[in-house]
Amino acid sequence: MSKFKLPPISPLLGSTFATYFKTLSNGRISSGYYLKTFLTSLIILAGIPFRWYEELYYHFIIRKNKKIKDPVFIIGHWRSGTTYLHQVLAQDHKMGYVTTYQTVFPHYLYSKFLFLRFMKAQMPEKRPGDNVRLVAKNPQEDEFALSNINPYTYYQFMYFPEEYQSFYKRFIRFEKNPSFLERWKADYRKMIIKACYNTGGDIPVLKNPCNTGRINTLLEMYPNAKFVHIVRNPVVVFLSSKKFFIELLPTLWFHQVDEKYIEDMIFDVYEWLVKDLLELKKQIPEGNFVELRFEEFEEDPVLHLEKLYMQLGIPDFQETRPKFEKYIQNMAGYRKNKYQVIEEKTIRKIFDRWGFAMDLWNYELPDNLTIVKKEAVPNE
C-alpha cells in the first residue's frame, strides 16, 4: 500500500520562522511554488511550542552535560564516496553524528516521538539520484541540518540554484559579508553537541562536501580537528553528480533551471572546491589530514579503516572491527549506478576544466566508458 502524501512541503519545515523567511529572501520564488512555501510556513508555525521547549532542554541539560572530543570531518566533492565512508565510521559507538531526522528537524530532537512519525510517513525509501536508503536514524550530511538552523548555508543553492555562485562566496568562503560568521560558528557547535547527545558518541564524525572549502573556518573552531578527504575519478564524479542533482534538485527548488545550467554548476563548484582544498589544507596540523582514494577504500574497507584509525590516533579499532565487518558485509548487495557512455564534448570539458585534478590524483578515463558524439545509450 502506498503512503499517503501531503501536498508539496519543503524540507525547510523544520526551521524557525526567522530562518525560513530569511532563506526565502535569498532567491527568486516562481509562482508555481507559492503553495509549497505557504504550507511549509503553516507547519513551522505549528512547531513553535516544541521549539521553545527544546531550547530550554538544550540550555539546561544538553549544553551542560555533553562533552565532545576533536571532530572528524569527512570532506570531498559530492559523489566521491563520502556517504559510504560516513556510514561505515558511524558503526563505531564512539562516533556522534547528525542523523537524517536531525537534518529535517534539528529543533525537535526532544519531540522526536511526534515528528518522527510524520517524517516516516513522507520520506521516500531511497535518496533521489542513487540507491542509498533513507533511514531516519542513519547518518546524514549536516549541511541539510544547518539549512534548517540558519540561512547562511551553501545548501541554499538547492532551493535557489540560480544563486549558487553567490552562495559559494558567501557561505563557504564567507566573503562579502563576514558579519554572520560568528553566528554560523555558534549554530554549528550547537548542532554538533546536540548530534552527539542524540546518538551517544563523543567523537563527532561529520560528512559535508561544503566543508571541503571551509577548512580555515573549521580550524578556527576546532584547532585539532581531523580531516579525511576522499577522492574519486573526476569523470565518474561528474557523471554521478549530474544524475544526482538532476533528480534531487526538482524535489527541493523554488525555481527551475535546465540541464545545461546544472552541468555548468557542477564544473564550477568542483573546480572551486578542489582549488580551495589544495590551498587551505596547508593550515591543517601535521598528522590530522588523511586522503583516501574511493576505489581503493571500496576494494578493502577494513584495511583502510585500520590505517585511518592509526593515522588519526582514533583508539580501539580492533574493538570496533567486528561492527565494521558486519556492516560492510550487509552492504555487499548494494547496487551502484553504472555509467557506460559519455559524450565527446563532455569528456573534453572535463579534461579542460578538471585536468589538474586528474593529474594530481593520477586518474584516467575509465576503461568501461565509451565516448560517443552524442549520448545514445542512457546510463543506469
Count of C-beta atoms within a 10 Å radius of residue 174: 18
Could you tell me if 176 and 170 are in contact, meaning their C-beta atoms sit under 8 angstroms apart?
A: yes
pLDDT band at 369 (very low <50, low <70, confident <90, very high): confident
pLDDT band at 1 (very low <50, low <70, confident <90, very high): very low
Alpha-carbon dihedral angle through residues 331, 238, 174, 21, given to the nearest 10 degrees: -80
Give Cα 322 to chain centroid, integer Å.
27
Structural domain includes residue 134: yes
Structural domain includes residue 302: yes
Rounded distance, CA 233 to CA 358, Å?
7
The 10s digit of each residue's pLDDT in 306-362 is 999 999 999 999 999 999 999 999 887 655 667 778 899 999 999 999 999 999 999
Structural domain includes residue 363: no
Structural domain includes residue 344: no
**The pTM of the whole model exceeds 0.85:** yes
Structural domain includes residue 368: no
Structural domain includes residue 208: yes
Could you tell me if 292 and 231 are in contact, meaning their C-beta atoms sit under 8 angstroms apart?
A: yes
**What is the per-residue pLDDT for 62?**
74
**What is the per-residue pLDDT for 334?**
56
Structural domain includes residue 353: no
The 10s digit of each residue's pLDDT in 72-125 is 999 999 999 999 999 999 999 999 999 999 999 999 998 888 888 878 767 777
Rounded distance, CA 232 to CA 230, Å?
7
How much is the mean pLDDT over the chain? 90
pLDDT at 195 over 60: yes
What is the count of structural domains for the chain? 1
Tracing cell 545545461 back to the chain, one arrives at 260
**What is the per-residue pLDDT for 81?**
94
Q: Which H or E run contains 39? A: helix 34-46
Question: In DSSP terms, which residues pair with 207 in a beta bridge?
Answer: 74
Share of the chain above pLDDT 90, in %: 75
Which residues are CB-neighbours of 32 under 8 A, at least 6 positions away?
A: none
Structural domain includes residue 326: yes
pLDDT band at 4 (very low <50, low <70, confident <90, very high): very low
How many residues comprise the chain?
380
Task: Report the CATH number at residue 62.
Answer: 3.40.50.300
Angle at 200 between CA 196 and CA 204, to 5 degrees: 35
Q: Which of the 8 DSSP states describes residue 332? A: G
Question: 213 lies in which domain range?
Answer: 11-336
**What is the per-residue pLDDT for 279?**
97
